[in-house]
Chain A
Amino acid sequence: MGSTITEKILARAAGRDEVHAGDIIEAKVDLALANDITAPLAIAEFEKAGFTKVFDPARIALVPDHFTPNKDIKAAGQAKKMREFARRHEIVNYFEVGRVGIEHVLLPDTGMVAPGDLVVGADSHTCTYGAVAAFSTGMGSTDFAAAMAWGHVWLRVPESIRFVYSGRPGAWVTGKDLILHTIGLIGVDGALYQAMEFSGEAIRTLSMDERFTMCNMAIEAGGKNGIVGFDEKTTQYLQARPEGSRARTAGRVFASDDDAEYARVLEIDASAVPLTVSKPHLPSNAAAAADLADVTIDQVVIGSCTNGRIADLRQAAAILRGKKVHANVRAIILPGTQQVCLDAIADGTMQALIEAGCAFSTPTCGACLGGHMGVLAEGERAVATTNRNFVGRMGHPGAEVYLASPYVAAASALAGHIATPEDVGAGKGGPR
């Protein structure tokens, strides 16, 4: 019996020849991360348990991205605990405001993740890094505290679901549409405890940015990790990381065997996937954007760890350039990193967005979790390129969030209601 890519990575990390779904393993951690919400709790547990040393200061990343630049005094106190811990333990990868970005954009983009790595993070969207053929999964603060002390983690090897996307995605259809559509098919616990392996000819046509977006949302189907097999695009992406970084110098390439065992194989015709929007209050409430034109909106958020990469902002700018955001709409851009900001300046993306009437934020989670920088009032409605539309997610529990791609979010910002690029006169186009 063959193995899946997920099983092979976990076998490597556990120092075994092979492991199979259901096995409980203790595996070596290549990178462990936490943010300004989850790290303070982990630090408290770490210290309460009497640990005095981290396993390796170079393999821990502390990323103050959620409530930073500090939104209030309490948040500042939490960020301070994390900063002091980072200094005390000489954590190499502590990113201060000004250098920080949204964790799941920042860490792969700075080359901290290599193929075949095992990454655990005290943040549910740690599953994002599967796009570089790594195994990465989210956990809680105590698990992170344990990983910091031990350098290992216990895991149950997940079964895998193989998603095979055939055909070419249609005009304006992106990885975001594919993943929203997929979660709509299987439900928010459709991949509970399982690996989501994305494959097929349509996946090969997606940019790395779109693959990150798809893996990012594996958790919204209950998945343990999302993963895409290695190909030329992965190589190109890794080669473009900073010199000397882990992405350039480390890693091992694994691929699923033809006779690997899957819990399920799901075939999806990508050419039939419409521009997709997930309605409140679950990511699985997928609907065609074209059917939601009567939904008027107050706010648009473009960015986050799901769609805050430069390709995402370019997509938004392609729709918004030379036009004006609707008078009733507040459009907020949450770029993933400072580098994304620089890239957006260099090619005029930022100028196009600002001229269209968008507010351009510093990199922060901000509005994505109803933290700051764009919290919704009671009864307000937003279209967001983020990943969750739960009750109260972006502010008041009486507010509503519709999840969409940057193209649909930008078109909606112009129209003042949910709209497709074609609705706002963009013709037939898209990322490919």
Chain B
Amino acid sequence: MIFEGTVHKYGRDVDTDVIIPARYLTTNDPAELAKHCMEDIDAEFVSTVQPGDIIVAHENFGCGSSREHAPVAIKASGISVVIASSFARIFYRNAINTGLPIVVCPAAASEAQAGDRLRVDLGAGTVENLTQSKEYDAEAFPPFMQELIDRGGLLKYVKAQLVERSRS
């Protein structure tokens, strides 16, 4: 998968409370959630985000609450991929589970500026900053996570496990 989009840049420790504040968690409708995505850290985000755009942030992106509504809101807002120096543990799992592409790439994350155009090739594991003419290698997923992604996500994997178990 290849994505190309404009960077929305944030710092470190972007928590899930600012990604989608708890006051909007009375629904799990992606479109509803997307209306308030990033509201408490960047009130302009919702009005400026374009389909395919890319969130870039420093360390510990998605820390705090386990709300899966956070990656759901980001994905529904039109963001194609999130690049960060590191991700908080639960957010990392949730992003994989909800099909929000994420990339760990500290060099690309620290050098990208708001408004830069990036090209991300998930298959090749590369991030290209078209504005700055630079290319970076992203961290590969651990093999087990790659297997989950390849099998179409956790619930498909679990279904296959259960079928296997009932046969044996």
For B156, give its contact among A37, A49, A145 (CB under 8 Å): A49
Q: Which one of B23, B60, B97, B162 lies within 8 Å of A149 (CB-CB)?
A: B162
Q: B64 at interface (Cβ–Cβ under 8 A)? A: yes
Q: How many residues belonging to A are interface residues under a CB distance threshold of 8 Å?
A: 56
A253 interface residue (CB < 8 Å to B)? no
Can you list 25 A-B contacts (CB < 8 A)?
Answer: A66-B22, A66-B25, A74-B26, A74-B27, A121-B66, A122-B68, A123-B66, A139-B93, A140-B67, A143-B94, A143-B97, A149-B155, A152-B161, A154-B148, A156-B142, A189-B13, A189-B88, A192-B89, A222-B88, A369-B17, A369-B22, A390-B18, A391-B41, A392-B40, A397-B39
Using known A-B contacts A41-B28, A189-B13, A390-B64, determine if residue A142 contacts B97 with beta carbons closer than 8 Å: yes
Given A44-B28, A140-B66, A142-B98, 11 extra CB contacts under 8 A = A50-B159, A67-B26, A122-B66, A124-B90, A126-B66, A141-B94, A193-B89, A390-B18, A391-B18, A392-B18, A397-B21
B25, B97, B98, B144: the one contacting A37 at CB < 8 Å is B25
Q: CB within 8 Å of B: which residues of A?
A: 24, 37-38, 40-41, 44-46, 49-51, 66-67, 71-72, 74-75, 77-78, 121-124, 126, 138-143, 145-146, 149-150, 152, 154, 156, 188-189, 192-193, 219, 222, 224, 282, 369-371, 375, 388, 390-393, 395, 397
In the complex, chain A residues whose CB is within 8 Å of the CB of B46: none
CB of B86 within 8 Å of the partner chain: yes
Which A residues are in CB contact (< 8 Å) with B148?
154
A186 to B27 Cα, complex, angstroms: 35
| B88 and A192 form a contact (CB under 8 A) | yes
B15 within 8 A of A: yes
CB contacts (< 8 Å) of A139 on chain B: these are: 66, 90, 93-94
Chain A residue nearest in CB terms to B154: A146
Chain A: CB-nearest residue to B21: A392
Q: Say whether B131 faces chain A, with CB atoms less than 8 Å apart.
A: no
Q: CB distance A390 to B66 under 8 Å? A: no
CB < 8 Å: which of A77, A152, A222, A392 contacts B63? A222
Q: A38-B67, A124-B65, A391-B18 are in contact. Are A150 and B158 (CB under 8 A)?
A: yes
Give the interface centre of B86, B88, B153 by most chain A CB atoms within 10 Å: B88
List the A side residues contacting B72 at CB < 8 Å: 41
Q: Which residues of A contact B155 (CB under 8 A)?
A: 45-46, 49, 51, 142, 145-146, 149
**CB closest chain-B residue, reference A26:** B161
**B117 close to A (CB within 8 Å):** no
Contact check, A282 vs B89: say whether CB atoms are below 8 A apart.
Answer: no
Q: Does residue B69 face the partner (Cβ distance < 8 Å to A)?
A: yes
Q: Is the CB of B68 within 8 A of A38?
A: yes
- Whether B59 is near chain A, meaning CB under 8 Å from some CB there, is yes
Contact partner of A150 (CB less than 8 A), chosen from B26, B60, B153, B162, is B162
CA separation between A123 and B22, bound complex, in Å?
13
A145 to B156, CA, bound (A): 12
Q: How far apart are the CA atoms of A156 and B142 in the complex, in Å?
A: 10
B64 and A146 within 8 A (CB): no
How distant is B88 from chain A, measured CB to nearest CB, in Å?
Answer: 6
Question: Inside 8 A of B88's CB, which chain A residues have their CB?
Answer: 189, 192, 222
Complex-state Cα separation, A393 to B17, whole angstroms: 6
Known: A41-B68, A141-B68, A142-B155. A75 touches B13 (CB 8 A): no
| A150-B161, A282-B13, A397-B40 known; A189 vs B21 contact (CB < 8 Å) | no
Which B residues are in CB contact (< 8 Å) with A154? 144, 148
Q: What residues on A are CB-neighbors of B66 within 8 Å?
A: 38, 121-124, 126, 138-140
- Are the C-beta atoms of B162 and A142 separated by less than 8 Å? no
CB <8 Å contact, B17 and A192 = no
